[in-house]
Amino acid sequence: MYAPGPSEAELAAIGITREDVEDTSITDIWPENYDAFMLFSKLSTQWVCGPAGAIGLSYPSVIDVSKLHGIKKRDRLELLNCIQVMEQEALKQMRESS
């Protein structure tokens, strides 16, 4: 969900300054994805990890957190599908950065 961007040394290596780099720290969230994004954000401490790092989210936690935040039962499956898409992308990003 967050990429820190290039370091000062990386910028200097290619001859540019921080001011030359466009600010990409703000990301718009489409309204139809807002609930799924917020639920995914609340699950940030619910990763199941193995010897090689994160494996995926704890799905029982997804259900519990969605209940705690008053998400209706009829909406949970759709949100879980959205969270699984974000989960797969997060796992890909974690693997690439390690």
Residues 89, 97: contact at Cβ < 8 Å? Answer: no
Number of domains in the chain: 1
Domain with 42 in it? 29-97
Residue 19 pLDDT: 79
Using an 8 Å Cβ cutoff, are 42 and 65 in contact?
A: yes
Q: Is residue 12 part of a domain?
A: no
**Residue 90 placed within a domain:** yes
pLDDT tens across the length of the chain (98 residues) = 456 677 889 888 999 888 777 666 677 889 999 999 999 999 999 999 999 899 999 999 999 999 999 999 999 999 999 999 999 999 999 888 87
Which pLDDT score is estimated for 3? 64
pTM for the structure as a whole: 0.70
